[in-house]
Chain A
Amino acid sequence: MKPRLSAVVLLLLSWGACALHAAPDAGEAAVRRTLARAILAEGAEQQSLLGEVSESGSKLAHDVLAAWTRDGVYLYHPTASSSVPVLLEDQLDAQGKARAVRIDDGHIVTDARGGELRFDPNTLDTADTDMRLRSTIQQALDALTLADPDPDARRAAVVKLGNSQKLKYIAILEARRPREPVADVRKAIDESIALLELGETDPQVKIQAIHRLTQLKSMGSLDRLKAMADNPATQPLVAQAAAAALLELQRHIERVNFFGTIFRGASLGSVLLVVALGLAITFGLMGIINMAHGEMIAVGAYTCYVVQNLFGSGFRFAITLPFSFFGRQVGFGLNLPGLNAGGWFYQSYFLFAIPLSFVAGALAGLALERTVIRFLYRRPLESLLATWGVSLFMQQCFRMVFGANNVQVDSPSWLLGHFSIDDVSFGYNRVFVIGFAIVIVLGTWLLLTRTPLGLLIRSVMQNRDMAACMGVRTDRVNMFTFAFGSGLAGLAGAFLSQIGNVGPSLGQNYIVDSFMVVVVGGVGSIVGTVCASLGIGTVDQVLQQLLESPVVGKITVLVAIIFFLQWKPGGLFTTKSRSLD
């Protein structure tokens, strides 16, 4: 167990333990006794006792049940044949032992002479649970969590009760509804009540419930309604209503899928755009077939990993070269101490990682340009081979420094999760990539069209010799342009670390897509790259939806691209330039 998680559990336990010390009133004493019996009972008796507990609405019951699902309830055996369920306090003494609190009466466990006993949490038996028992406990907890301060937790609890098909929960939900302050949760309560009412015997109640489910656009009720409509035993009126509701819901799902697909297309397109934009500069504008583009992306992703570790426990590596030099093992290493940050500061590591990824990508690009590419500007095919070699070399470097396995990059908490509008869900990371793409495209566009450097870049890319005659230091401009393109690739890497894995072959997964986007968009055109990536992204998602198979979808896209390039060999936006002729 990681320290942080165990701290949470201990916190919960101490919370429970504190509550246990409170002066017991008559109701609480009864809850305690039922709880203790429920923990020791088995099978049907356990289920019914848990049902009793769930109706108590007691905070104490909630804490004990929550501890139980986390293996936090222990069994103390005063004699060989008897067991007493206990919670352990979070205060551990020097031997790592803690006092135990009996669940049945709230007292500290003592020996025969009244001395307090202490237990090691690792050796004491835990009250075992399996998945089925946990789901029963969960249901009891759900009834109890209807009063949880967190609206999301309340909603999740409501939905679960709605799916339980147990009519007794209708009363619990109806009791909760007027006290529920959040509209969203009230909607979920309505839906769950209607779902539960489908199980009533009176056809009128059923039909009304179906109508309400239709109004609420309840996707969760789809299976139940389908079963009712198809079942010949259903009363004809009810079956009719169910069939009508099904039609309406299916229309709703189609709408959700339509907007969902557009959003997913935009987000996939943005990923493609972010990945290919750097290549649009180095290949599109400069005409270098840069096979090491993918590795520039990986540089950015690994930068993210390093920054994350610097915010955590530090980053270190040591390499011993596989050969000896004059009889000595040669190696080098690096040991950077970490900040050991926690909380929001740790979560903000990604904001620091983004600019650093750009810098790292740009520096790698600069080095590549100075050492290899500047000798090959007039020999594009040889640059293909040379950069491919560089790509293999860099992959091996990643393996030596970071290991052959993928590394873990944690997503900051503000990139996890999603929000929904009318059942279309928008993942925060996906929304982020769309915004990210917009920002870097705008930035690139401004740099190329609104700055003196951009002017120089464009002039050199249009006609290198002519620009040189006009006194432009083409050598230096090439260097900057290539570094900038590589920096963009680094940015892409920072983002990709949030949606996928980071490993030595990360770049290989994206190099083909990058070239595809740039070629379809029209070599040399940034606008083309933008249009191509968004187009390919959307078409890909639509085909996935229609053909119900990612593989066939992808193949269809590739075949379509082949035909498209037959029709328009120059891509979407053809650049007229002498250097490209």
Chain B
Amino acid sequence: MTNKLRLVFAFAAAAVLGAGASAHAQDKVIKVGILHSLSGTMAISETSLRDILLYSFDQINAQGGVMGYKIEPVIVDGASNWPNFAEKAKELLEQDKVAVIFGCWTSVSRKYVLPVVEKDNGMLFYPVQYEGEEQSKNIFYTAEAVGQQATPAVDYLLDQGKKKFFLVGTDYVYPRTTNLVLLKYLLLHGVPIENIGGGLDKDSSGKVISAGTYTPFGWTDYQQIVSQIKQFAASGDACVLNTINGDSNVAFFKEIVAAGLSPSDCPVVSFSLAEDELRSMPTKDLVGELGCWTYFQSLDTPENKTFLAGWNNWLTTENYSGVVKEKRAVDSPMVLSYDGAYLWKAAVEKAGTFDVDAVRKVLESGSISFAGPGGLITMQANHHATKNVYIGETKANGQFKILKTFNQVYGEPWLLKGLDEKLAAQGK
């Protein structure tokens, strides 16, 4: 490189730096982390959460930011690799010094991030339905706890006269814990143990420690399981509680259709399939199957209509790289991410500082609410949130028809203990 060229580069670099510095001088900026998988098997679900967060930040910035500070998102890729989530969280907290992180989808990734945010006293907002049995002082769960998704769905099915329940899921912590809760919940509601399908795991003393059939991530061979379901459902009044995660669902439902199991014989309630996943699924195969979430895109409320209009408008105008503009859907994890951003904003403004301890104290006070697209959401002292729960039925266009609403359900992470006590009281 000639000296002349070098000089030109130096000038250019200086100009860029100068521009950057002047921009900073005008705006007060607060850094906020986005930690989701933008590649790998979970990217199908998690990129949408990044998009909705960018939307909420743009919206907040347009309204004047948080206490006059503009939000500057720091986006990192968890890459569907769980230990990588921990590294990236550390990077966000220690290098970028972000005020808060919005992130994680799978419970495994959250379990990896948990010790990092606890050590560095960070703050994480977690938006995806999960198994409960956890409450970290550094994590706020806008997510659906089991009591806000799986057990209301069971209530609904029992009410509809279902008597037999088959449990199937992906082999990791969320389906296993959820199914254990469901097993106890069903027993408590008088469903005999032989009417719970999928197999029971017992320890050496014969005590049931888990129920359900599990497949690994990315599993594509559901012949055996579907044939079991078919025999299980032959006597009628059966349903399937499906906690299969990710794209294995396509193979599962193709097999269900091939076996001729229709929703009127044996409906499948899926806890991991929302509108966003349905975009890339053969929805014709799923018409009439059920879903249970704290938000559906088809909700007919003014808040939801305003929210959707704003989102669609943002999609046409934004120019972030990698945001898909066409055929977008909105679903519960996205809305809970969005709610999380606004709950955090409200708490910061009330606390008057970005300091994690102060913001946490305000959030724990139970006074922070947000009238979100899915209805009012209120952060509780136990870091979980009170919100509405809806049961919906899949339509051919990938949307849900809402069948039932449970209003303002309390978020309780510790269901197992309570269920055990009640079962013991009944002598079971």
Question: How far apart sit A132 and B237, CA to CA, in the bound complex (Å)?
Answer: 12
A312 within 8 A of B: no
Q: Is the CB of A264 within 8 A of B254?
A: no
Q: Is the CB of A132 within 8 A of B159?
A: yes
Question: How far apart sit A496 and B251, CA to CA, in the bound complex (Å)?
Answer: 10
Q: Is the CB of A267 within 8 A of B44?
A: no
A29 within 8 A of B: no
Residue of A nearest to B278 (CB): A408
Residue numbers in B under 8 Å from A2 (CB-CB): 396-397
Please pick, from A131, A163, A264, A428, the residue contacting B227 in the complex, using a CB distance under 8 A: A264
Question: How far apart sit A135 and B265, CA to CA, in the bound complex (Å)?
Answer: 10
- Given the interface pairs A1-B396, A404-B47, the reply to whether A549 lies near B223 with Cβ below 8 Å is no
- Given the interface pairs A409-B282, A427-B259, the reply to whether A551 lies near B216 with Cβ below 8 Å is yes
Q: Is the CB of A501 within 8 A of B247?
A: yes
Question: How far apart sit A406 and B39, CA to CA, in the bound complex (Å)?
Answer: 13
Question: How far apart sit A404 and B224, CA to CA, in the bound complex (Å)?
Answer: 30
Please pick, from B236, B324, B396, the residue contacting A403 in the complex, using a CB distance under 8 A: B324
Proximity bits, B210-246, A CB within 8 Å = 1, else 0: 0001111011110111010011001111000000000
Chain B, range 385-399, C-beta contacts under 8 Å to A? 395-397
Min CB gap B398→A, angstroms: 10
Residue numbers in B under 8 Å from A268 (CB-CB): 221, 223
Proximity bits, B153-178, A CB within 8 Å = 1, else 0: 00000011100100000010000000
Please pick, from B194, B213, B235, the residue contacting A550 in the complex, using a CB distance under 8 A: B213
B258 within 8 A of A: yes
Residue numbers in A under 8 Å from B214 (CB-CB): 549-551
Chain B, range 242-300, C-beta contacts under 8 Å to A? 247, 250-251, 254-255, 257-260, 264, 279-284
How many residues on B have C-beta within 8 angstroms of the other chain's C-beta atoms? 54
Q: Is the CB of B218 within 8 A of A509?
A: yes
Q: Is the CB of A499 within 8 A of B235?
A: no
Q: Is the CB of B220 within 8 A of A220?
A: no
Interface hit among A113-121, A175-183, A360-368, A411-419: A411-419
Most buried by B among A138, A220, A406, A545: A406
Residue numbers in B under 8 Å from A501 (CB-CB): 247, 250-251, 280-281
Q: Is the CB of A222 within 8 A of B220?
A: no
Q: Is the CB of B282 within 8 A of A425?
A: no
A322 within 8 A of B: yes
Min CB gap B317→A, angstroms: 16
B43 within 8 A of A: yes
Residue numbers in A under 8 Å from B247 (CB-CB): 406, 500-501, 503
Residue numbers in A under 8 Å from B40 (CB-CB): 505
Residue numbers in B under 8 Å from A322 (CB-CB): 321
Q: Is the CB of B199 within 8 A of A410?
A: no
Chain A, range 208-257, C-beta contacts under 8 Å to B? 219-224, 226, 253, 257
Proximity bits, B304-343, A CB within 8 Å = 1, else 0: 0000000000000000010010000000000000000000
Q: Is the CB of A253 within 8 A of B231?
A: yes
Please pick, from B225, B235, B324, the residue contacting A220 in the complex, using a CB distance under 8 A: B235
- Given the interface pairs A499-B254, A505-B40, A551-B215, the reply to whether A223 lies near B235 with Cβ below 8 Å is yes
Question: How far apart sit A500 and B234, CA to CA, in the bound complex (Å)?
Answer: 26
Residue numbers in A under 8 Å from B250 (CB-CB): 406, 500-501
Q: Is the CB of B397 within 8 A of A550?
A: no
Q: Is the CB of A408 within 8 A of B282?
A: yes
B369 within 8 A of A: no
Q: Is the CB of B234 within 8 A of A411?
A: no
Question: How far apart sit A408 and B260, CA to CA, in the bound complex (Å)?
Answer: 20
Q: Is the CB of A408 within 8 A of B254?
A: no
Question: How far apart sit A466 and B114, CA to CA, in the bound complex (Å)?
Answer: 62
A554 within 8 A of B: yes
A130 within 8 A of B: yes
Residue of B nearest to A260 (CB): B227
Question: How far apart sit A446 and B235, CA to CA, in the bound complex (Å)?
Answer: 49
Most buried by A among B43, B235, B236, B247: B235
Q: Is the CB of B219 within 8 A of A411?
A: no
A23 within 8 A of B: no
- Given the interface pairs A130-B403, A418-B259, the reply to whether A405 lies near B234 with Cβ below 8 Å is no
- Given the interface pairs A268-B223, A411-B282, A551-B171, the reply to whether A405 lies near B44 with Cβ below 8 Å is yes
Residue of B nearest to A550 (CB): B215
Question: How far apart sit A103 and B351, CA to CA, in the bound complex (Å)?
Answer: 62
- Given the interface pairs A264-B227, A427-B255, the reply to whether A499 lies near B213 with Cβ below 8 Å is no
Q: Is the CB of A425 within 8 A of B234?
A: no
A186 within 8 A of B: no
13 A-B pairs with CB atoms under 8 Å apart are A130-B403, A130-B404, A160-B236, A163-B237, A219-B235, A220-B234, A223-B164, A403-B324, A418-B260, A425-B230, A428-B258, A505-B40, A550-B224
5 shortest interchain CB distances as A-B pairs: A163-B236, A501-B250, A406-B280, A427-B258, A223-B235
Given A425-B259, A541-B223, 5 extra CB contacts under 8 A: A220-B235, A406-B250, A417-B258, A550-B213, A551-B216
